Amino acid sequence: MDPYDLVARNTVEIVTEEELRSTLAEPVKRVYAGYEPSGEIHLGHLVTINKLIDMKEAGFHVIVLLADLHAFLNRKGTLEEVRELAEYNRSCIEAVGLKGAEFVIGTDLQLNPEYQLNVLELSQQVTLNRATRSMDEVGRTMENPTVSQMVYPIMQMVDIAALDVDAAVGGIDQRKIHMLAREHLGAIGRKPPVCVHTPIVQGLDGKKMSSSAGNVVSVADSEDEIRKKIKKAFCPPETAENPIIEIFCHHIFPRLGRVEIRRPEKYGGDREFDTFASLEVAYAAGEIHAMDLKNACAEGLVEVLAPAYEFIMSCKRG
pLDDT tens-place string over residues 50-59: 999 999 999 9
pLDDT in tens, 258-313: 999 999 998 889 999 999 999 999 999 999 999 999 999 999 999 999 998 898 88
Does position 37 have pLDDT exceeding 70, yes or no? Answer: yes
Give the Cα separation of 236 and 33 in Å (integer). 32
* Tally of residues, the chain: 318
Question: Which range in 131-135, 149-153, 231-235 is most confidently predicted, on average pLDDT?
Answer: 231-235
Q: Which amino acid is at 220?
A: A
pLDDT in tens, 187-241: 999 999 999 999 999 999 999 898 888 899 999 999 999 999 999 999 999 999 9
List the beta bridge partners of residue 102: 63
Mean pLDDT, to the nearest integer, of 120-149? 84
SS3 state at 317: helix
The mean pLDDT of the chain is 93
Quickly count helices (H) and strands (E) in the chain: 15, 8
| Single pTM value for the model | 0.93
Does position 154 have pLDDT exceeding 80, yes or no? Answer: yes
